[in-house]
Amino acid sequence: MIILFGMPVVQVLLFGFAITTDIKDAQIAILDKSNDYMTHEITNKLLSSGYFILGANLDKDDQIDKAFKKGNIREAVIFEKNFAEKIETEKKASVQIIADASDPNMANLLFNYSQSILMDYQRQLYKDKKFPLQIQVETQMLYNPELKSVYMFVPGTITILLMLISAMMTSISIAKEKELGTMEVLLVSPLKPFQIVVGKVIPYVILSCINAIIILMLSFFVLGMPVQGSLIFLLAETVLFIFMSLSLGIFISTVSQTQQIAMMLSMFVLMLPTILLSGFIFPIENMPVVLQYFSMIMPSRWFIIIIKAIMLKGSGILFLWKETLILVGLTLFFITMSVKKFKVRLA
């Protein structure tokens, strides 16, 4: 099926080019009560920053709420009357920034950007004024100087895709045998249960490996994501994770009666928490403590750490032995549990 190989390609493309947490082209509304050279200059500065585009020009205060309610405008910038005049004579004029905080992150970022643009403008106005005791700050961004959000996403994408194929599809595949009753037939055959499971699982292992390689290649060549550390180490850890997911998938299939259940279980217990709790999109450090502990039993969390570290920081086994050990441990745990459940059925 084309989709099986198309999926990683599509996901990488999406993440690389479409999905980003960066702010760009946010629509703002301008309510300019002065309409003088200064407000125009400031407006220009805002609109040429790349962060904002003009969504609407308002002329009354009560239009603001309406504009927000329509859903497109993210922020309103209001200049008071006689702005330039006030600055020149009284050395004081106000600008009001109203942000639509239904998306608080966006609102915060937009406000910060707006504010810094305004402060910049102000500095330009008073660039001749010299202040003593100036602390100048140099900032440096490690590992990801352009603050590309793709670096965050690629490890997560790999994880999810591997989980999907190795865990979810495996669990459904084995559950299918159970559901259609063909499992009994297999069990009665001279094949050992171990062989049956391995047979079922091998196609998915191969598929996962291929997919992982495709994603890595794509992210390296198309997205420019570096692989600072050892490629062999990266692949080794990936294979470990694939086995981990397989053991998870097998375990889920032992507790599911039908394919639908295997799927829903995988969905709710694996995929959703993986996406949201593993540090893929939302940083773990910011979660409530309870959830941070919870995420410790999520294998995806550890794998994402490992991938990020190898690809972006170039870490070796010395730095990552703890995480690797956890993955190995989890794999063994799930395999043992699956075997136990299996034996119960056969007894």
Place of tokens 């989890």: 330
| Whether the Cβ atoms of residue 291 and residue 313 lie closer than 8 Å to each other | no
Q: How far is the CB of 82 from another protein (least distance, A)?
A: 14
Q: How far apart are the first and last CA of the chain?
A: 38
| Whether the Cβ atoms of residue 252 and residue 167 lie closer than 8 Å to each other | yes
Tokens of 26: 């946010």
Query: Which among 183-191, 244-252, 276-284, 333-341 is the span making contact with another protein, rule CB under 8 A?
Result: 276-284
Give the residue, chosen from 5, 21, 222, 297, that forms a contact with another protein under the rule CB under 8 A: 21
Give the residue, chosen from 59, 62, 127, 140, that forms a contact with another protein under the rule CB under 8 A: 140
Query: Which among 23-31, 216-224, 239-247, 328-336 is the span making contact with another protein, rule CB under 8 A?
Result: 23-31
- Distance between CA atoms of 250 and 112, rounded to whole angstroms? 48
Contacts of another protein in 53-112 (CB under 8 A): 65-66, 68-71, 74, 87, 91-109, 111-112
CA angle (160 as vertex; 155, 163 as ends), nearest 5: 125
Query: Quick one: angle between helices 150-162 and 2-13, nearest 10?
Result: 160
The nearer residue to another protein, 109 or 216, going by C-beta atoms, is 109
Contacts of another protein in 218-237 (CB under 8 A): none
Q: How far is the CB of 231 from another protein (least distance, A)?
A: 19
C-alpha to C-alpha distances, 8 to 1, 12, 159, 267, 302, nearest whole angstrom: 13, 6, 11, 18, 21
| Whether the Cβ atoms of residue 116 and residue 101 lie closer than 8 Å to each other | no
- Distance between CA atoms of 233 and 121, rounded to whole angstroms? 50
Q: Is 227 exposed, middle or buried (0-12, 13-18, 19+ CB in 10 A)?
A: middle
The nearer residue to another protein, 100 or 331, going by C-beta atoms, is 100
- Distance between CA atoms of 294 and 288, rounded to whole angstroms? 10
Contacts of another protein in 184-213 (CB under 8 A): none
Give the residue, chosen from 188, 288, 344, 347, that forms a contact with another protein under the rule CB under 8 A: 288
The nearer residue to another protein, 124 or 195, going by C-beta atoms, is 124
The nearer residue to another protein, 143 or 194, going by C-beta atoms, is 143
Contacts of another protein in 291-310 (CB under 8 A): 291, 294-295, 305, 308-309
| Whether the Cβ atoms of residue 274 and residue 130 lie closer than 8 Å to each other | no
The nearer residue to another protein, 225 or 331, going by C-beta atoms, is 225
The nearer residue to another protein, 58 or 331, going by C-beta atoms, is 58
DSSP 8-state class, residue 82: T
The nearer residue to another protein, 286 or 344, going by C-beta atoms, is 286
Does the footprint of another protein cover residue 144 (CB under 8 A)? yes
Does the footprint of another protein cover residue 313 (CB under 8 A)? yes
The nearer residue to another protein, 239 or 276, going by C-beta atoms, is 276
Give the residue, chosen from 5, 24, 89, 184, that forms a contact with another protein under the rule CB under 8 A: 24
Give the residue, chosen from 62, 145, 221, 232, that forms a contact with another protein under the rule CB under 8 A: 145
Q: How far is the CB of 93 from another protein (least distance, A)?
A: 7
Give the residue, chosen from 46, 58, 164, 242, that forms a contact with another protein under the rule CB under 8 A: 164
The nearer residue to another protein, 56 or 291, going by C-beta atoms, is 291
Backbone angles phi, psi at 80, to 5 degrees: -80, 170
Backbone angles phi, psi at 79, to 5 degrees: -95, 135
